[in-house]
Structure 1
């Protein structure tokens, strides 16, 4: 795992400033503490920080091809590199190393832009081709590894593994893209392909971009892969049960190749437990596992992790984190570079910190909830959809829209009385309803929070556009598959994978994600929805397949999640900080918010009238970002 950076001049072939590129690269040293080097050609500068995983002494980067035509900087792992090495060797290509980086170079020389179709793994890379005078950039299919880029005012394209790399360039434009604040206060992250900055972007998952010398503007990135949604026949229940374990085991197996210590996260949930079970069957030595516990039982899953560790006799390490572990709050703004509001970033940071004490590579169970419908919200989404099917929109809207407006938000009441969001969603179509249910702050709540001036500047823009960007492709699928697809295009990459990448790389730890192997995803997404959500049980097909491998208490207990006690923090040790930060001069002078509404959100929460912990945390993280942006953090 590594960090990459570069500067490419679209026009005149001057020399990118080596000092600027050096500063950019040094800013991501945490991603690759083992080595760092540079490559310069007329109009091009490439930089790399290396975390050695495979071919420890060889495979330096930036790497030139044997014929010296092309040079690559690469972050990630190509799991089928040995097969590609053999194939390309028979075609006459030379290899000087034994790692996966050189495989990408020769794949480019043989197949050009189509090289991405031959790569199986997680990756973000850039290739400079001297002969064609072009720069080719690509990102893996699911977005496990990041790639940021920006076209600067002097015609230079700057790119890197983290946004903080680009921000080191003196010509970086730090003006905010204001529409992304509407997105952020909906989702809690900035969805692809945008960043919080007006002229900076994320290369979207499954996309590549070819930039040629002489261009005056950047081309639109090209999508080379997407989750298949046009299968003719779905998988049968017997096919899922007969094939799932073998297919997942193969995805796990190819991710266990490393020349450094390797282990796994073991949270006690189904996904990580399943990965550990299969790892234990693939190696003779005990698997290294680690778990984070909390000193509050409601948030502690370590007893379930211990069941799996005992069953497979793993080398298990556990550390207990205090329920008041909020020292990381200010660090998160620096870690994620832009507003990011998933509070589970705190325990994720801690578990990566623990894992790095013992291993350099860890396998995780991320992706299982999206792929096999494990989130509780899918069940609610289907309940709402049944009502939509009974009543046409023309009847639902006049019936439920007034109810959604008038019904109070009863966070303190029993669940069956908390119907405000449901009533609102009932007055909407499938995609709009799911968007409403997913929102940290719903549209009416965002309208109250934002100042009148900022609402006017948004000019009618709604974060619903993020979902609508993807919805057309899946409108022929059933409602749950639509929700899963939307999550995999937005929440999975923008929240989950971003969280894990930054938290792990902050500790120079490589995390591999077997459930998101693209071949496994292509197969598993064909599982019928009624096999994934069956009799109210989410991930049913996945759990049934894992029954011979895991304890029933692990498989079928109530889903816990990886949470921190935000509500208690904001009524206790963080109460004064809540007032100080959210009502600071910097926050109020930004011009985005209505001060009265901020005060009401705080007051209602502190006084126990409502649980506003999620929106309050979202605002606190935005305030931290503003302080960092101004240099005051």
Structure 2
């Protein structure tokens, strides 16, 4: 894993701040390339081929082609068979990628099985290509400063240093953060800075500065399901998972595991132990407290301990005692996005422990819920079908009765009844929201309310569904939104940024290219059978994981913010101070009176606003750290 950056146009004279800003992503070395039109920066975290032969920027023998690259190509050894004429100097996947791009250009992208963001420069044609992996595991920001300046970087902090002109806040990002807890996939908190979308590449003609963005990744969902028996599907999925793990373990450094005690991470660890019985496995697990259980975060730790003992895995325990407010600035600075999720704090603690233990690679279960159905909003599709048989008047009456109860206690049932009255597409879109549109909009200043538009989320999601016109199954439609929104913009952003803040690479085997393509061929009724999510994946897991883990209810990976807000006076006061500060410091954005009303309604259980308040605190931290200078 590495950090990359580059700039065309007026060169940066002092390059040290640029490489310093990426040092945490690549603490083991740095490199620099420059000519009359382009500067390229690289910092290295060596995972494959630890020698200097893997250093970057990497050039071919002719010096015509230059590559800087962040990521891992897991099938790069097999892809070398496409280059029989090349005498490779290393076993680095960087060298493989360089020669594949020289030989095949962007046509090779569909064959890459890995996680990546790279810049490939052809000096002869004066062409720069930027590309990002299928799911957006590795980040890449860019800024187009017309008429002749273009810059890009792994991190927003670096891109700010490369920018020649001022930046302005993208105010819609604050609305998205309140409603979704994150920003949409191809935007950032700044209007002038974009994120290259998952599965896309940009070509830049250095002579004319013309830019073209192309989607290279074909849509997963095409309604072309494979018909075979359930038993055959179990075998096929099992084989695909084994092959994914064999690829993902490619490393010249130790590899360890997240082990939550849930199905997804346990399956990866159990399968690995079966494949390599003599291999010593290390894993990290979070130990939750009573407040977590009280709010619905089942205590996974006991399951993780028993399973680790069963497979003779060395388990490292991380106590879940985060100080969300005290540590918020550090987390937001690493995330660089308007994003609010307590899970980030636990990932940070685990990554720090792993780094201290000399383990630079972690494997996690992210992606299983998004490809095979694992969230409560997927189960809601099943319940909507049942509720559709109940007269709308009765559902409305039931919703009115529920409003008389404490909001935090019945929030899911309230939302289910409310959305059951909406059209199918509206149900799908609103299931991703933490707060409804009117409540979110009321928190902004009167002037900003007139400027903000509520349709950015709807428009983006409608475009994602339009990209899979043949797919009409509601579950697969929702998984299409899941992979491009919650997965790419939220989960993968924090996994990469938080892991790399500690110089740790986090791998995601469920997003293996071949496994993902197979998941799209799986009939939806085998992903979720009735209301049972991850049905077929659990069938495979039963070969490797004890039944008590498979049968246990789904739990989140977060913190009991609602309970702390009600019961912890220090947390409540600290959160209130942050929330009120965003109104005091940025009155052009937020209405203090409305925010205070919302805070009081939350404290008095008239609305379920704890996570929205935390999102306001995250926005305050982002504005203070990224716009104050």
Of 143, 165, 168, the match for 2:161: 168
Q: CA deviation at 1:445?
A: 1.4
The SS at the match of 2:40 is strand
In structure 2, the residue matched to 1:489 is: 484
* Aligned: 1:430 with 2:424: yes
Distance 1:193 1:228 in 2: 20
* Aligned: 1:551 with 2:550: no
In structure 2, the residue matched to 1:363 is: 363
In structure 2, the residue matched to 1:206 is: 199
Q: CA deviation at 1:170?
A: 4.8
Of 261, 265, 283, the match for 1:272: 265
Of 115, 130, 139, the match for 2:132: 139
Q: CA deviation at 1:351?
A: 1.4
Return 456-465 or 561-570, whichever deviates more: 456-465
In structure 1, the residue matched to 2:115 is: 122
* Aligned: 1:506 with 2:505: no
Distance 2:42 2:90 in 1: 17
The SS at the match of 2:315 is strand
In structure 2, the residue matched to 1:602 is: 599
Distance 2:304 2:65 in 1: 47
Summarize deviations over 1:345-388 as a string: whole Å, max 9, x none.
Answer: 11111111122222111111111111111111211133224555
- Verify the 8 A CA contact 1:37 1:61 in the aligned structure 2: yes
In structure 2, stretches of 5+ residues that fail to align are: none
Distance 2:582 2:136 in 1: 37
1:64-103 aligned at under 5 Å gives the runs 64-88=59-83, 90=84, 92-103=85-96
- Verify the 8 A CA contact 2:199 2:216 in the aligned structure 1: yes
The SS at the match of 2:257 is strand
* Aligned: 1:527 with 2:522: yes
In structure 2, the residue matched to 1:582 is: 579
The SS at the match of 2:598 is helix
Q: CA deviation at 1:550?
A: 0.7
Distance 1:621 1:615 in 2: 10
* Aligned: 1:287 with 2:281: yes
Q: CA deviation at 1:410?
A: 5.4
Return 417-426 or 43-52, whichever deviates more: 417-426
The SS at the match of 1:219 is strand
Q: CA deviation at 1:448?
A: 2.2
TM-score normalised by the chain length of structure 2: 0.92
The SS at the match of 1:247 is helix
Distance 2:342 2:300 in 1: 17
Distance 2:499 2:81 in 1: 32
Call closer, same or farther: CA 1:520–1:613 in 2, change over 3 Å: same
Return 425-434 or 554-563, whichever deviates more: 425-434
Q: CA deviation at 1:423?
A: 4.2
TM-score normalised by the chain length of structure 1: 0.92
Of 35, 50, 66, the match for 2:29: 35
Q: CA deviation at 1:153?
A: 4.9
In structure 2, the residue matched to 1:336 is: 335
Q: CA deviation at 1:324?
A: 4.7
Call closer, same or farther: CA 1:75–1:337 in 2, change over 3 Å: same
In structure 2, the residue matched to 1:305 is: 304
In structure 2, the residue matched to 1:12 is: none
In structure 1, the residue matched to 2:384 is: 384
Q: CA deviation at 1:169?
A: 2.4
In structure 1, the residue matched to 2:102 is: 109
Q: CA deviation at 1:235?
A: 5.4
Call closer, same or farther: CA 1:587–1:367 in 2, change over 3 Å: farther
Summarize deviations over 1:107-150 as a string: whole Å, max 9, x none.
Answer: 11111121212311111000110111000111011111111110
Distance 2:247 2:411 in 1: 49
Of 39, 47, 57, the match for 1:53: 47
* Aligned: 1:4 with 2:1: no
Summarize deviations over 1:282-317 as a string: whole Å, max 9, x none.
Answer: 222221111121233614321111122111101221
Call closer, same or farther: CA 1:418–1:159 in 2, change over 3 Å: closer
Distance 2:412 2:11 in 1: 58
Summarize deviations over 1:585-619 as a string: whole Å, max 9, x none.
Answer: 65563422232221122112223444321111111
Summarize deviations over 1:422-441 as a string: whole Å, max 9, x none.
Answer: 34423432222122122112
Q: CA deviation at 1:462?
A: 4.2
Call closer, same or farther: CA 1:148–1:407 in 2, change over 3 Å: farther
Summarize deviations over 1:557-607 as a string: whole Å, max 9, x none.
Answer: 011221112113323222222332212265563422232221122112223
In structure 1, the residue matched to 2:188 is: 195
- Verify the 8 A CA contact 2:322 2:345 in the aligned structure 1: no
Distance 1:471 1:590 in 2: 37
Distance 2:501 2:410 in 1: 42
Return 535-544 or 212-221, whichever deviates more: 212-221
- Verify the 8 A CA contact 1:66 1:95 in the aligned structure 2: no
Return 547-556 or 151-160, whichever deviates more: 151-160
Call closer, same or farther: CA 1:556–1:112 in 2, change over 3 Å: same
